[in-house]
């Protein structure tokens, strides 16, 4: 058996000041850091790139994050794209750039809406 792809999830946080100003107004003012889930790695073996496996792994990561939110608070899932290609990949799925940090996030509400349609 050979590993062809994987991802990691861990508890993390996002500084309130990193959010776009329009979103900051909707966040609890007493929180300096807001709970989030970090998608720390998402990788696919080169032999299967371009076949949709990255999307499958991302959707699985979003679903698992949604399931854990029932037990552990998380406002969003965050990623730290390694390059512009990765940034475009995540952007295609609705991730929003946090310009102050270079990270991207997808609000948990967006993930809930995605899976409530199914």
98-118 pLDDT, tens digit each: 988 899 999 999 999 988 876
| pLDDT at 84 (0 to 100) | 94
What pLDDT does 118 receive?
A: 60
Q: Which CATH architecture has domain 5-116?
A: 3-Layer(aba) Sandwich (3.40)
pLDDT at position 31, please? Answer: 84
List 8's β-bridge partners, or say none.
Answer: 41
Q: Which long-range contacts (CB under 8 A, 24 or more apart) does 43-50 make?
A: 43/5, 43/6, 43/7, 44/4, 44/5, 45/2, 45/3, 45/4, 45/5, 47/4, 48/4, 48/5
d(CA 8, CA 64): 11
- Delimit the domains of the chain by residue range: 5-116
Rounded CA separation 118/72 (Å): 23
Planar angle of CA 16, 19, 23, nearest 5 degrees: 100
- Determine whether 23 is exposed, middle or buried from the number of CB atoms within 10 Å of its CB (0-12, 13-18, 19+): middle
Region 11-30 average pLDDT: 85
């Amino acid at each position: 058996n050979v590993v062809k792809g994987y991802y990691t999830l861990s508890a993390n946080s996002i500084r309130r000041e990193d959010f776009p100003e329009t979103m900051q107004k909707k966040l609890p003012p007493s929180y300096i850091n807001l709970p989030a889930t970090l998608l720390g790695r998402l990788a696919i073996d080169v032999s299967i790139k371009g076949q949709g496996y990255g999307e499958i792994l991302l959707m699985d990561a979003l679903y698992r994050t949604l399931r854990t939110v029932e037990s552990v608070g998380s406002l969003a899932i965050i990623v730290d794209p390694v390059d512009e290609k990765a940034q475009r990949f995540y952007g295609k799925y609705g991730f929003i750039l946090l310009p102050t940090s270079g990270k991207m996030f997808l609000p948990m509400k967006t993930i809930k809406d995605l899976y409530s349609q199914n």
